[in-house]
Structure 1
């Protein structure tokens, strides 16, 4: 039951985040009070320092078995790291498997683990935190936001919220409420765009321990950002070039933005049923104007 799993996972994740935030800032507030600091920010070491310096230092001041809490805290960090690695690794393996179906899961997972371990060795060197801060700034912050906004727009307005909800109903037999349709189509992309704009406005030159990064480091960082950001226009151009050479540019764009003919369930009977539903959906879409299609995408 995918629906039940989603509700449980998202609820537990949200509750865990709230609890972790309350505990972390409660302890840091107490630490600031005991040290006489006027601001919590003055006692917090940003980045990895919060998890490996500030928080353990606060735990060491516990009067009741601080050793047990320290073990539990670092065990939690270990489990969190494993969980994050499995989640991100599974996404990469799944994408590769969608393209090359016969590729064995274990070989892909092993190759990805070896590659990730080899690349991350640099973070264990004396200058590892310096490199980690650089990669986090250029490779994750605004880059991830731009990619996420692009993904939301692609699913919500290129593939279509209506078609996405129809796929969900086809798979689990449940209709998607208007709340989720509006969130996926308008609210979530709008909020993420607002966060991106604020991030870019508030962007400050990158430093580490009040030391400016050299010019070559910024060049490397922008190259890292470019690799991530160029994925969207790069693969879009690749998809357009794959279309029939005799078709016009507009037809190429439409064909590139449409799902492949093989898109759908692997089981033959279900695939035929899904294909019939898709043809009916496309026929209805051709009979609407652009404004009607936009309204129907959210409320239809």
Structure 2
């Protein structure tokens, strides 16, 4: 969204800055790095990202992208505090490449107008997505820690500040390579794991038959029982195959990324370093670990009270001393009480 917001800010000029290659300083010649490729690709890598030739070369966050990122999280924070109604309703769509958009925009007449319209749409769509993600973080925190419900605004600001600080790594000159690492290799495995967990919880723990009955009540019409078989057998099997194949692909094949080579003005394939692979494994573990951890926590929370109740309900019987015959036996009282009840009947 920060990239789209920066492109939107750059769209209020004619001609658009990515339509032409820049001139060299004190010269009428175009930059040779731009002439070896297209002006839109050059603008993306050299002007927007200020990208390095490989992921190992770091650097401080790019200033204009940091400002765009700050404005992005400021808009998100204000929208969350004011309420989702202030942002309007936007239907989410598939991700698209910014460079491909700028190529298409440059062909149209009135490219400035179309650029503004398209990037307003992208910014609004990104804002709608981020609001949903942020709401999915704040609501579970308030449900788990009840005192946070009294400080919703403060919690929202705190989460947005932490998100902004964590996002600064992605606006460094090598930040786009981290984005590709997460987008290409990290997102799929946790997603499959979450889907498998949800499917198993619904179909086998809560019960697919019970869930089907709930849907029948909600919709007011019967639903085909074939869905129960799909939820119980077909869906888990397909998701498990996809999960295992993705895991096998990550294990057997080297993970690569496309880096910008300034000497030839083209993208080249590089292997991620070993520390990037370790980072990828840590990200996968951190995002999937809360599910089994919370499952064990809930299971123990249910088992411990039951065991305590059993201990409290245990009856200890003390054998009566054979020499002590002064006290009557309880059986006699029970028998007398039973005779009284029979007479009353």
Aligned to 2:254: 205
Shift in CA distance, 125/155, structure 1 to aligned 2, threshold 3 Å = same
Per-residue deviation, 1:85: 0.6
Matched, 1:112 2:159: yes
Which one of the candidate residues 98, 109, 130 is aligned to 1:85? 130
- Matched length: 200
Deviation at 1:241, TM superposition (A): 2.5
Structure 2 counterparts to residues 1-300 of structure 1, below 5 A: 51-62=97-108, 64-102=109-147, 103-104=149-150, 105-168=152-215, 172=218, 174-175=220-221, 177-178=223-224, 180-203=227-250, 204-209=253-258, 210-245=269-304
Note if contact 1:165-1:175 (Cα within 8 Å) is conserved in structure 2.
Answer: no
Contact 1:139 1:228 in 2 (8 A): no
Deviates more, 1:114-123 or 1:231-240: 231-240
CA distance in 2, matches of 1:78, 1:159: 39
Determine if contact 2:212/2:223 at 8 Å carries over to the other structure: no
Q: Deviations over 1:220-263 (max 9, x none)?
A: 11111111222222122222332344858xxxxxxxxxxxxxxx
- Kindly indicate which of the two structures has a greater share of residues assigned to helix: 1
Secondary structure of 1:75's aligned partner: helix
Could you tell me how far apart the structure 1 residues matched to 2:121 and 2:227 are?
Answer: 32
Q: Do the aligned residues in 1 keep the contact of 2:186 with 2:283 (CA within 8 Å)?
A: yes
Which residue number in structure 1 is paired with residue 335 of structure 2? none
5+ residue gaps, structure 1: 1-44, 249-300
How far residue 181 of structure 1 moved from its aligned partner, in angstroms, is 4.1
User: 1:5 — aligned with what?
Assistant: none
Match of 1:4 in 2: none
Determine helix, strand or coil for the equivalent of 1:60: helix
In 2 relative to 1, CA 180–65 (structure 1 residues): closer, same or farther, beyond 3 Å?
farther
SS in 2 for 1:195: helix
CA deviation string 1:154-187 (max 9, x = no partner):
12211222333444566x4635612554454444
Contact 1:145/1:192 (8 A) holds in 2: yes
Shift of 1:189: 3.3
- What's the TM-score once normalised by structure 1's chain length? 0.57
Rate the CA distance shift 1:98–1:59 in 2: closer, same or farther, 3 A: same
Matches of 2:280 and 2:120, distance apart in 1: 32
Q: 1:236/1:124 Cα in 2 relative to 1: closer, same or farther (>3 Å)?
A: same
Gaps of 5+ in 2: 1-44, 46-94, 259-268, 308-345
The alignment's C-alpha RMSD in Å is: 3.0
Local SS of the residue matching 1:78: helix
Ranked by relative contact order (alpha carbons within 8 Å, sequence separation 6 or more), the top structure is 2
